[in-house]
Amino acid sequence: MITIGDSITFQMKWTNPIVVSLEAYYSATITTAGLNGHKPMAVGSSRIIPLINNDFVGQQLGNSIYERVDDAHFYSPEIIFLMGGTNDAYPTGCGTIADEVYTGDAVTENPPSFYSAYKGTLKKLTEQNPDARIVCLTPLYSIDVSVAQKEPYITAVMECAALYGLEALDLFHDVGIDATNYATYLADGVHPNDAGGLLIGNYIASQL
The pLDDT of residue 89:
82
If you average pLDDT over residues 44-73, what whole number do you get?
A: 95
Provide the mean pLDDT of the chain. Answer: 96
Of 77, 18, 66, which is closest to residue 43 (Cα–Cα)?
Answer: 66
Q: What is d(CA 165, CA 136) in angstroms, rounded to the nearest whole number?
A: 11
Tens of pLDDT along 109-142?
A: 999 999 999 999 999 999 999 999 999 999 999 9
Tens of pLDDT along 5-51?
A: 999 999 999 999 999 999 999 999 999 999 999 999 999 999 999 99
E strand residue ranges, 38-84 = 79-83
| Residue 91 pLDDT level (bands cut at 50, 70, 90) | low
Tell me how far apart the terminal alpha carbons of the chain are, to the nearest angstrom.
13
In sequence order, the 6+-apart residues with CB closer than 8 A to the CB of 118 are 48, 84, 85, 156, 157, 160
Q: What is d(CA 91, CA 85) in angstroms, rounded to the nearest whole number?
A: 12
Higher pLDDT, 85 or 93: 85
The pLDDT of residue 143:
94
1: helix, strand or coil: coil
Tens of pLDDT along 139-152?
A: 999 999 888 889 99
If you average pLDDT over residues 158-167, what whole number do you get?
A: 98
The pLDDT of residue 90:
74
Which amino acid, one-letter code, is at 53? Answer: N
In sequence order, the 6+-apart residues with CB closer than 8 A to the CB of 208 are 18, 21, 22, 135
Q: At what angle do helices 114-128 and 147-163 cross, to 10 degrees?
A: 40
Q: What is d(CA 151, CA 141) in angstroms, rounded to the nearest whole number?
A: 10
Q: What is d(CA 10, CA 76) in angstroms, rounded to the nearest whole number?
A: 19
The pLDDT of residue 92:
62
E strand residue ranges, 157-200 = 167-169
The pLDDT of residue 93:
77
Please give the domain boundaries of the chain with CATH numbers for all domains. Answer: 2-206 (3.40.50.1110)
